[in-house]
Amino acid sequence: MAPFRAALGLLNTLPGINQAVAEVIITETGGDMTRFASAKHVASWAGVCPGKHESTDRTKNTKGRPGNPHLKGALGLAAFGAVSTNKTYLQARYKRLSARRGLLKALVAIEHSIITTIRHMLTDNVP
């Protein structure tokens, strides 16, 4: 992980991400986020983007999207840690969404927010 020390330092600034989760994220994505055209592409590849199954104006239930299982697990741990910390944006977002959508859908939405933030952090090299 020596070549990725700067990226690991950036990832450790996010709430919910510790050293082990940051290493998994760097390992699975390769540390280079420029290969993805946008944050939506990263979320789709990770399997945390929202799915939609609609037929004749009726929205039907969908299963979780297939994606990278190791990255998905690491994002789940990060999301759970982020919603457990007090007075953060991600915890407030989780509370708003869980009241309307349910606990698990809100957790996946937090995973999506985290991977989007990670993509912007590593692409622009800013905390």
Q: Which domain holds residue 33?
A: 2-49+65-124
Query: Is residue 58 a part of any domain in this protein?
Result: no
Query: Is residue 55 a part of any domain in this protein?
Result: no
Query: Is residue 23 a part of any domain in this protein?
Result: yes
Q: 79-89 pLDDT, tens per residue? A: 999 999 888 89
Query: Is residue 43 a part of any domain in this protein?
Result: yes
Query: Is residue 92 a part of any domain in this protein?
Result: yes
Q: 24-53 pLDDT, tens per residue? A: 999 988 888 888 889 989 888 888 887 767
What does the pLDDT average to over 103-107? 90
Interhelix angle 39-46/103-124, rounded to 10 degrees, is 130
pLDDT in the model for residue 26: 92
Tokens found for residue 99? 């009241």
Q: How many CB atoms lie within 10 A of CB 52?
A: 8
Query: Is residue 59 a part of any domain in this protein?
Result: no
Query: Is residue 106 a part of any domain in this protein?
Result: yes
Query: Is residue 11 a part of any domain in this protein?
Result: yes
Tokens found for residue 1? 């992980």
Is 75 within 8 Å of 46 (Cβ atoms)?
A: yes
- Residue 61 clears pLDDT 80, i.e. is over it: no
- Residue 124 clears pLDDT 80, i.e. is over it: yes
Number of domains in the chain: 1
